């Protein structure tokens, strides 16, 4: 259609130029006999020039300066070719003024047609939408079923989709719901393809993690804000609709394939059971609650110190699982008497211990005693209370910072693993186990929320060191790993996830800056230096530890070495329970007596 209209404009401009040159009396009769054939050749040249300059690929309702530049180039090239052709063929009866003026008249004509169309479109759109809000124009990466469903509903939200991109050659050049497929995904880097887009939307929920990660990387290099449709898991769980775009979330940045778990085995452990979760309102605890609720427990006991967090998770679970009986308890794992009373009353069969202080620098200075009391002594009290109440399984959520710890938080979590293991022989009816994983993207205190806030403020984004790396997993993946540990773990075991390649924190910061539509010139990255107790890299296993495989791919069981200190846990606990408060230096000394591999950072 575009080429037909442009051809009509070329014909009108040719006649208008004759009229201007020869006047009303002679503009028809004074033409040479071969003028029709000349006009035919002129139209053909203009159309070929337009195609070469990608003029037909543009959308008139978004015509802007870039389109005008392409039209100018096409008209200039076509005008020169036509003039050279007429002169070379010695067709001297065609007036030279016509050859000179015709490209200018064509250029004015094609520009006016597009401008008029855009004015009418904007007027009609303003009448429909009331003219409220900014116009958001998107190019969508993906042209599959998700893109079709997105197009069906996104226009009602005030969005205008300029085009689609897809690597499938069969889709390129086609139209989906009236929107053209402009090229492969890497065409998003072409300004001519992006046109007047204000946003990019990734619509690849069913693609592999590697494909989604590639799409995110390409979109980030385009310099526009990037959004995405909900993931396949969100759509499957009914948490979102495909026509509702959202910001890029941590799991989109990670680009990892989710571990496939034994859902049937987990269901056997949780279905119809009373399950208690400490720290139920925290980042990991709240996701654990959601994951456990899916398996139909008889009762879910929420044990949480923060009143607000407890209220938040209770409201979320009540809305999503209205038939699940909830017990909402404000409680502190440092309160042994309250723990024993709680476990004695509700008799949980499965306990997930997620209550912990985990912020490394915060626990390093002035709060070391609080970290030890909560992370180590609180874990021991919760584990003993669970066993005394007849619990079948007790699962401790540990961390990679427990391996060769250099900080109080990591040492207190390694000590927690050891005090839980010390109960194995005393309570043979309870399985005690721990799950160890790396940093959780998007959890409270993680870098993602911090980077988001800094970008929203206009920067700078602070990274402690240019070489610092971390292993990452998503909150849902961490929660599923914990459930799997409860199903297959045996007493005294620590389960470890093969977390793949570590991520450089500075690269993560750069990606988030790009996905927000900015560059490092707009939002700089500042290196602030390593914080107290912080490592450049984390480990999931100590050198002397060994692992054995499990039926779950990428999930292994660590058989941890025993030391003389670990055999004296009972004496160590007895001394610690006698202390009311200890200074930081004394806490570090006490932790080293139990965890000899703990070497505080200088």
Mean pLDDT value across residues 55-72: 71
Which residues pair with residue 526 across a beta bridge? 462
Closest CA to 202 of 142, 252, 251: 142
Answer yes or no: are the C-beta atoms of 144 and 177 closer than 8 Å. no
pLDDT at residue number 84: 86
Cα 232 from Cα 234, distance rounded (Å)? 6
Longest dimension (CA), the chain: 117
Compute the mean pLDDT over every residue in the chain, rounded to the nearest whole number: 82
485 pLDDT more than 60: yes
Mean pLDDT value across residues 112-128: 70
Q: What dihedral angle (degrees, nearest 10) is formed by the CA atoms of 179, 180, 185, 187?
A: -130
> What dotted CATH number matches 136-248?
3.40.50.720
Average the pLDDT over each of 237-251, 465-479, 525-539 and give the range with the smallest value: 237-251
Give the CATH fold of the 271-439+477-497+545-594 domain: Rossmann fold (3.40.50)
**At which residue do the structure tokens 């070929």 appear?**
48
Cα 196 from Cα 457, distance rounded (Å)? 26
Cα 313 from Cα 284, distance rounded (Å)? 11
132 pLDDT more than 50: no
pLDDT at residue number 566: 44
**At which residue do the structure tokens 């998003």 appear?**
188
Residue predicted with more confidence, 548 or 129: 548
Question: Within 10 A of 112 (CB to CB), how many other CB atoms are there?
Answer: 11
* DSSP code at position 427: -
pLDDT at residue number 54: 74
Which tokens go with 164? 């689609």
Cα 466 from Cα 211, distance rounded (Å)? 27
* DSSP code at position 231: P
Mean pLDDT value across residues 79-94: 84
Packing angle, helices 263-270 and 475-488, rounded to 10: 70
Closest CA to 292 of 319, 315, 321, 312: 321
Residue predicted with more confidence, 305 or 90: 305
**Residue 450 annotated as catalytic:** no
Render pLDDT for 401-456 as a digit per residue (tens, 0 to 9): 888 898 999 999 999 999 999 899 889 999 999 998 777 766 666 677 788 888 88
CB half-sphere exposure, 220, CA atoms < 13 A = 21
- How far is C-alpha 285 from the chain's CA centre? 21
Could you say which of 171, 273, 358, 401 is catalytic?
401
Residues of the chain with CATH 3.40.50.720: 136-248, 271-439+477-497+545-594
Peptide bond into 259 cis (omega under 30): no
pLDDT at residue number 565: 44
pLDDT at residue number 368: 94
């Amino acid at each position: 259609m575009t080429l037909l209209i442009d051809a009509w404009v070329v014909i009108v401009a040719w006649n208008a130029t004759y009229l201007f040159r020869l006047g009303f009396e002679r503009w028809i009769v004074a033409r040479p006999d071969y003028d029709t054939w000349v006009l035919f050749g002129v139209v053909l040249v203009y159309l070929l020039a337009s195609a070469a300059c990608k003029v037909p690929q543009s959308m008139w309702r978004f015509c802007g300066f870039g389109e005008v530049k392409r039209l100018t180039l096409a008209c200039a090239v076509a005008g020169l070719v036509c003039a050279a052709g007429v002169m070379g063929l010695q067709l001297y009866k065609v007036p030279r003024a016509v050859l000179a003026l015709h490209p200018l008249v064509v250029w004015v004509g094609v520009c006016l047609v597009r401008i008029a169309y855009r004015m009418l479109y904007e007027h009609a759109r303003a009448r429909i939408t009331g003219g409220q809000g900014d116009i958001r124009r998107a190019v969508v990466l993906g042209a599959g079923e998700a893109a079709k469903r997105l197009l069906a509903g996104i226009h009602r939200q005030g969005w205008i989709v300029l085009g689609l991109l897809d690597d499938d050659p069969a889709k390129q050049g086609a139209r989906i719901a009236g929107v053209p497929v402009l090229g492969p995904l890497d065409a998003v880097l072409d300004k001519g393809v992006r046109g007047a887009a204000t946003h990019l939307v990734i619509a690849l929920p069913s693609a592999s993690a590697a494909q989604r990660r590639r799409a995110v990387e390409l979109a980030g290099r385009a310099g526009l804000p990037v959004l995405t449709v909900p993931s396949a898991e969100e759509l499957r769980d009914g948490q979102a609709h495909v026509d509702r775009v959202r910001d890029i979330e941590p799991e989109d940045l990670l680009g990892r394939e989710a571990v496939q778990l034994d859902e049937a085995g987990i269901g056997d452990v949780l279905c119809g059971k009373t399950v208690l979760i400490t720290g139920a309102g925290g980042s990991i605890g709240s996701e654990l609650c959601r994951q456990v609720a899916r398996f139909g427990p008889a009762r879910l006991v929420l044990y949480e110190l923060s009143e607000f967090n407890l209220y938040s998770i209770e409201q979320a679970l009540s809305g999503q699982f209205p038939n699940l009986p909830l017990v909402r308890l404000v409680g502190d794992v440092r309160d042994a008497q309250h723990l024993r009373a709680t476990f004695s009353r509700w008799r949980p069969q499965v306990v997930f211990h997620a209550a912990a202080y985990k912020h490394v620098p915060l626990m390093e200075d002035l709060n070391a005693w609080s970290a030890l009391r909560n992370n180590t002594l609180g874990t021991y009290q919760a584990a003993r209370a669970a066993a005394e109440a007849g619990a079948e399984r007790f699962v401790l959520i540990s961390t990679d910072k427990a391996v060769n710890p250099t900080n109080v938080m990591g040492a207190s979590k390694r000590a927690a693993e050891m005090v839980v293991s010390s109960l194995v022989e005393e309570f043979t009816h309870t399985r005690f186990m721990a799950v160890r994983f790396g940093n959780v993207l998007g959890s409270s205190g993680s870098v993602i929320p911090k980077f988001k806030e800094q970008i929203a403020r206009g920067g700078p984004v602070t990274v402690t060191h240019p070489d610092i790396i971390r292993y990452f997993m998503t909150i849902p993946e961490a929660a599923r790993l914990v459930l799997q540990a409860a199903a297959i773990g045996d007493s005294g075991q620590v389960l470890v996830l093969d977390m793949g390649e570590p991520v450089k924190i500075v690269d993560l910061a750069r990606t988030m800056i790009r996905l927000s539509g900015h560059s490092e010139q707009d939002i700089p990255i500042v290196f602030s230096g390593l914080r107290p107790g912080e490592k450049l890299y984390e480990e999931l296993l100590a050198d002397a530890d060994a692992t054995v495989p499990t039926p779950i791919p990428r999930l292994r069981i660590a058989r941890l070495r025993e030391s003389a200190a670990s055999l004296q846990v009972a004496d160590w606990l007895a001394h610690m329970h006698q202390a009311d408060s200890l200074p930081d230096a004394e806490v570090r000394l006490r932790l080293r007596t139990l965890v000899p591999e703990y070497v505080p950072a200088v």
